[in-house]
């Protein structure tokens, strides 16, 4: 997060919403309105020495606060533990202005919102917005158990409660979400939105694609990614198109790290291939895509990649830098 994009906010409330999930209400340091945001937006949060992305989950009509929710995840690199253990009410923290990579399709005939676990955060914001617009939508919210379901009572008491079905992995079979049944047929003008753990998202997206849902009707946002190793992890070269300079990317460094060591900065945020901040155009060569940001079609075009995690299948990539 660049200093120029930074916004200082005060933690006005910190609330346990479910097992291992805390929400944080963020307000202007002197009570001033915050920049407007649209449904599906996230902010970058400086969590200690790390930057993490958290979706805004309050009503986008509100300008006096941002609400985020954080799952304590022992498998992550420490951002969630910092938020849970170190951040207190009254603290001032630095965030970015809202950004939206997961926007509603306003030309849709209707919307199907699918949330898994903490993935409810952007989905909740979308439900608020769609309810306010009087749009046709349904929302399915799946968690492992009731104790892990954040915002259950808020949703149950909301104006859009009739649009929502809750599903619990440890509940009776009849209430479980049947992905294959719901996505059995692509429906013209019906857009799907999915956010949650990678396994849930993979199940939804692979089912939708197998059943012929057009990519333009699929909307998704991954929280974090395990960057998988592959045969193309050996060293390779990148060439800067502007100067012709060639930089070697060794097998134990990312492209971003190799460029930084050579004095070439590429702005990053998630460093896991989920946020799109580092996208760089590829003028020649074949990237080895490891991100979860681009669609399959965008991967196949091979004209851009995420140098924070993606590598090369060819011996050299020429980058638009």
Interface with ligand FES by CB under 6 A: which residues? 268-271, 273-278, 291, 293, 306, 308
Q: Which is nearer to ligand FES, 217 or 268 (CB)?
A: 268
Structure tokens at 225: 């990614």
**DSSP secondary structure of 39-81:** TTEEEEEEETTEEEEEE--S-TT--S-EEEEEE--TTSSSHHH
Q: Which is nearer to ligand FES, 102 or 213 (CB)?
A: 102
| Shortest reach from residue 296's CB to ligand FES, in Å | 17
Q: Which is nearer to ligand FES, 177 or 293 (CB)?
A: 293
Q: Which is nearer to ligand FES, 179 or 308 (CB)?
A: 308
| Shortest reach from residue 310's CB to ligand FES, in Å | 8
| Shortest reach from residue 256's CB to ligand FES, in Å | 7
Rounded Cα distance between 262 and 59, Å, is 44
Q: Which is nearer to ligand FES, 70 or 278 (CB)?
A: 278
Element (H, E) at 181: helix 179-182
Q: Which is nearer to ligand FES, 34 or 249 (CB)?
A: 249
CA proximity to 166, closest of 174, 177, 157, 158: 177
| Shortest reach from residue 280's CB to ligand FES, in Å | 9
* Whether the Cβ atoms of residue 24 and residue 11 lie closer than 8 Å to each other: yes
| Shortest reach from residue 295's CB to ligand FES, in Å | 14
| Shortest reach from residue 54's CB to ligand FES, in Å | 14
Rounded Cα distance between 76 and 47, Å, is 13
| Shortest reach from residue 200's CB to ligand FES, in Å | 21
Residues in the chain: 321
Q: Which is nearer to ligand FES, 17 or 221 (CB)?
A: 221
* Whether the Cβ atoms of residue 138 and residue 165 lie closer than 8 Å to each other: yes
Give me the residue label for tokens 């929280």: 223
Kindly list the distances between the CA atom of residue 198 and the CA atoms of 71, 102, 173, 224, 304, in Å, as whole numbers in the listed order: 14, 16, 22, 8, 23
Sign of CA dihedral 297, 283, 289, 223: negative
């Amino acid at each position: 997060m660049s200093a120029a994009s930074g916004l200082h906010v005060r933690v006005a409330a910190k609330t346990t919403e479910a097992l291992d999930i805390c929400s944080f209400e963020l307000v202007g340091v002197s009570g001033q309105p915050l920049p407007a945001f649209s449904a599906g937006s996230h902010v970058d949060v400086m969590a200690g020495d790390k930057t993490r992305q958290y979706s805004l989950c309050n009503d986008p009509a509100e300008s006096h606060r941002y609400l985020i929710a954080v799952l304590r995840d022992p498998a992550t690199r420490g951002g969630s533990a910092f938020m849970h253990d170190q951040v207190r009410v009254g603290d001032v923290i630095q965030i970015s202005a809202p950004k939206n990579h997961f926007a509603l399709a306003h030309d849709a005939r209707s919307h199907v919102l699918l949330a898994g676990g903490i993935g409810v955060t952007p989905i909740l914001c979308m439900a608020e917005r769609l309810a306010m617009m009087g749009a046709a939508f349904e929302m399915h919210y799946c968690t492992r158990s009731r104790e892990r379901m954040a915002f259950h009572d808020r949703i149950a008491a909301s104006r859009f409660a009739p649009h929502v079905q809750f599903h619990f992995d440890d509940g009776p079979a009849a209430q479980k979400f049947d992905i294959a049944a719901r996505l059995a047929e692509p429906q013209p003008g019906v857009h799907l939105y999915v956010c949650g753990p990678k396994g849930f998202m993979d199940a939804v997206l692979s089912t939708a694609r197998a059943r012929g849902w057009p990519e333009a009707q699929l909307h998704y946002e991954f929280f974090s990614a395990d960057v998988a190793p592959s045969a193309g992890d050996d060293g390779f070269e990148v060439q800067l198109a502007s100067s012709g300079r060639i930089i070697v990317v060794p097998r134990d460094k990312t492209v971003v790290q190799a460029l930084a060591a050579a004095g070439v900065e590429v702005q990053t945020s998630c460093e896991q291939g989920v946020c799109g901040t580092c996208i760089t155009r590829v003028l020649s060569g074949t990237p080895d895509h490891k991100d979860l940001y681009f669609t399959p079609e965008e991967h196949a075009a091979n004209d851009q990649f995420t140098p924070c995690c993606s590598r090369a299948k060819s011996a050299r990539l020429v980058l638009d830098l």
